[in-house]
A and B are shown apart, each in its own frame.
Chain A
């Protein structure tokens, strides 16, 4: 299962509340991933990961006190590797690229071998890290994030909803069958994505937001302001 929440703030006035908003969103998808959680907060690229209930972790991290411009978080129900902090998402690689994943990749071992042959190093045996390393490798090769995500769709088999952030962008993409849920909401003050609407319902101004589901294999990308 697993839960994803991500938020990019367009209204600078909301930045002091970024951590509090993310904590509230994560609590709403805690049932989707109760064994561990993690979050990356920009612009400092602060990465927090831990084993345990997401709501407890958010309190331990004092997440509500943290400000920032955007963040991406994950609540994990482990399927492909051990329940440890090292296997928690987000996987943060390259020049500050953070990736969270709901789903499972079928051909991650093959792609891992191809990347290893090209000199890419890995920190874990997690399938989602392969996707993060693939994207970082493509960015290093000169592709932009949108192209790198399109190549990922061509290359990876399996089920996935991915939320990706870099220091200057936020992107969402799903597999061709779109078996894993994703909802996007946008207002003039923010753009957010979550596995379930109830995580978006805690955001200010949700009543007036444009809410929609991302289409299969469409790359949705927003630039940071």
Chain B
């Protein structure tokens, strides 16, 4: 099924997608940066977007696969519950904000605050990430194939960030930790799964919380 967004409203397009049965596929053409494409999906469908998506593409969804053949605006995959969002180009700010589950893959770069307040999803960026990646991330995994900007992992909770390139600087309460065998296995599996061949799993930097800013379980 093809849905031409130059002649169909986003509301109608999303309603059409939500009515599709499991296993269905759909293609959105002429997105021209429109916001809220393919949000709130619940079934195991595949949606391909031919071009640039605006804010919150694929957000609030579960089970679905959303493939963006272009770049995205702010908040791609925000509050994702499960499924896959893959962006062939670059992603703007707040990628995967508060995403609970599923996988968000960016084949280009991601801008500021990628993985902010992450709550369990897996975020993979082949290229570089901007400042404050992983800010206040509570759970989940972020793998960066390139360099990270300033304030990496600021106020991090239990999420873990792996960076293959350089780190400009760490945020408050973030620290570099030694790689365990389980880390190498995880990075190797994710890199292989998503074609990030440029990453050497044994040469990534693990960043996690120093646990000085929060005190769960203490009286």
Name A residues whose Cβ lies closer than 8 Å to a Cβ of B. Answer: 177-178, 181, 183, 196-198, 200-201, 211-213, 215-216
Contacts and interface: CB of A to CB of B under 8 A. Distances in A.
Contact of B34 (A198, A200, A211, A216): A198
Contacts of A211: 71
Contacts of A201: 32-33, 52
12 contacts: A178-B112, A181-B73, A181-B92, A183-B92, A196-B33, A196-B55, A197-B33, A197-B73, A198-B32, A198-B35, A201-B33, A215-B130
Contacts of B34: 198
A197 B54 contact: yes
Interface of B: 32-35, 52, 54-55, 71, 73-74, 90, 92-93, 111-112, 130-131
Which A-B residue pairs are the 9 nearest by beta carbons?
A: A198-B33, A197-B33, A201-B32, A201-B33, A213-B111, A197-B52, A178-B112, A198-B32, A198-B54
Nearest to B72: A197
B131 to A, nearest CB: 7
Contacts of B54: 196-198
Contacts, number: 35
B1 to A, nearest CB: 23
A105 B64 CA distance: 41
A167 B150 CA distance: 35
A196 B32 contact: no
Q: For A200, A201, A211, A212, which residue has the most chain B Cβ atoms within 10 angstroms?
A: A201
Contacts of A216: 112, 131
Given A181-B73, A215-B130, 4 more contacts: A181-B93, A197-B73, A212-B90, A213-B93
A201 B92 CA distance: 16
Contact of A196 (B71, B73, B90, B111): B73
A183 B92 CA distance: 9
B29 to A, nearest CB: 13
Contacts of A177: 112
Contacts of A200: 33
Contacts of B92: 181, 183, 213
B62 to A, nearest CB: 27
Nearest to A216: B131
A183 B33 CA distance: 12
A196 to B, nearest CB: 6
Contacts of B71: 197, 211
Contacts of A197: 33, 52, 54, 71, 73
Contacts of A212: 90
